[in-house]
Amino acid sequence: MKLVAAIDVGGTSIKGALVDPDLHIIATANAPTPQNDVEGSKTVKVISELLSKLASPGEIKAVGLAVPGALDETNGISRWSGNLGWKNLPIRDLLAREIKIPVAFGHDVRTGALAELRNGAAKGLNNAIFIPIGTGIAAALIIDGQIRSSNGFAGEIGHVNVGGEFNCVCGKKGCLEAAASALSITNAYAQASGKTGTSSEEIATLSQNGDAIAQKIWENAMASIATACQMLITVLAPEVIIFGGGLSQSGNLLIDPIAKSLGESLTFQKVPQLVIAHYGAQAGTIGCAMLALDLLPNGGN
C-alpha cells in the first residue's frame, strides 16, 4: 500500500499524520514548532524526524505540507508568516531536499476546504465557505467550484471588525478572531472566572448547563461569528458555510445560535446551510493527504 504523510506546520506545534489512499489516518505524531527558525532548517529537521516516527524508511511515497500565512502555492514559497517568522522562504523545496520524497504544498485553511469540496460538506456545490475556528480564524472561499485565494491573500475573515472589545494579534481592536477563536474564548473565560485551562468545548457545555459567565462569553462569541457570516453571505452568497477546527467539536451549540442570529438579521439574502465539516477538525489533514496522493500515479491506488 502506498502511504502519504500530511504535515501541518502551526505556530506552536507541527502535526503529522500517516494516511492511506482511502484517506484513513493510520498514525499521528506531533512535535513543537521550532521558534524563530527564519531559515527553515530546524523545521525541516523536525518534520524529517516526525516522518521517521510515522513510518519505516521508504513507506511514505509523498508528503503534503500545509503552512499558515501568505503563500505562493505554485512555487512552494511562504511569502510571510507572522507566527513562524518566515519571509520568502522556499519551504517546499527545502523539505523535499532534506527528506528526498516528493512534497505537495498548500495553505492550512484551503487544504481543509479541498477535503470538504472533494469529499465532504461542499461536495457537488459551487459556492461554499469553509471556516476553521481554532487558535485563529480564517476562511477558504469556494467560488464557482474553485477554491479562490487572490494569490493567497483572501479569506482573512478573522480580522474583520465585529465591534468586539478585545485587542487582536494583528494590532487592531474588535476583530472576529479576538472575540471568537477557541483561544480567545478560553482566555475570556479565564479572565472572567479566574479558572484557567478550560477548553472552548467545555465552555460551550458549561454555557448550556447554565453557567452565567460561560453563557455570556459563548453568546458573545457566537454573535460575533454570526456578524462575520452575515458579511460573507451578503458579499459571496454561499450555498453552505462549513465550520471546522477545534470549535466545530461543539456541534449544534455552535450552529444553532448562529443560525438563529442569521435568521433575525438577513433580509433579502439567500440563507445558506450551516454545517460542521464532514472531516471535523481533521479536514486540513485530509486535504493535505489528498494533495500528496495527487502526486502519485493513480492517486496511490
| Residues in contact with Zn ion by the rule CB under 5 A | 159, 168, 170, 172, 175
Nearest-CA neighbor of 16 among 89, 101, 118, 87? 101
169 vs 253, which CB is nearer to Zn ion? 169
DSSP tag of 34 = P
122 vs 247, which CB is nearer to Zn ion? 247
Report the nearest approach of Zn ion to the CB of residue 101 (Å).
Answer: 36
| Three-state secondary structure call for residue 184 | helix
Q: 32-50 b/e with 16+ CB inside 10 Å = b?
A: ebbeebeebeebbebbeeb
Report the nearest approach of Zn ion to the CB of residue 285 (Å).
Answer: 26
95 vs 179, which CB is nearer to Zn ion? 179
Report the nearest approach of Zn ion to the CB of residue 159 (Å).
Answer: 4
Rounded Cα distance between 8 and 25, Å, is: 14
63 vs 168, which CB is nearer to Zn ion? 168
30 vs 187, which CB is nearer to Zn ion? 187
Q: How far apart are the first and last CA of the chain?
A: 8
DSSP tag of 88 = E
Report the nearest approach of Zn ion to the CB of residue 69 (Å).
Answer: 14
Report the nearest approach of Zn ion to the CB of residue 178 (Å).
Answer: 6
**Under 8 Å between Cβ of 76 and 20:** no
164 vs 246, which CB is nearer to Zn ion? 164
Residues 6+ apart with CB under 8 A from 63: 4, 5, 6, 7, 47, 51, 95, 99, 101, 102, 103, 104, 292
Report the nearest approach of Zn ion to the CB of residue 173 (Å).
Answer: 8
Rounded Cα distance between 132 and 177, Å, is: 11
Give residue for cell 522562504.
89
Report the nearest approach of Zn ion to the CB of residue 82 (Å).
Answer: 11
Q: What phi and psi, each to the nearest 5 degrees, are found at residue 45?
A: -65, -45
172 vs 270, which CB is nearer to Zn ion? 172
- Between 200-208 and 252-265, two packed helices, what is the crossing angle to 10 degrees? 70
CA distances from 248 to 55, 124, 274 (A): 30, 22, 11
Report the nearest approach of Zn ion to the CB of residue 168 (Å).
Answer: 3
**Under 8 Å between Cβ of 157 and 176:** yes
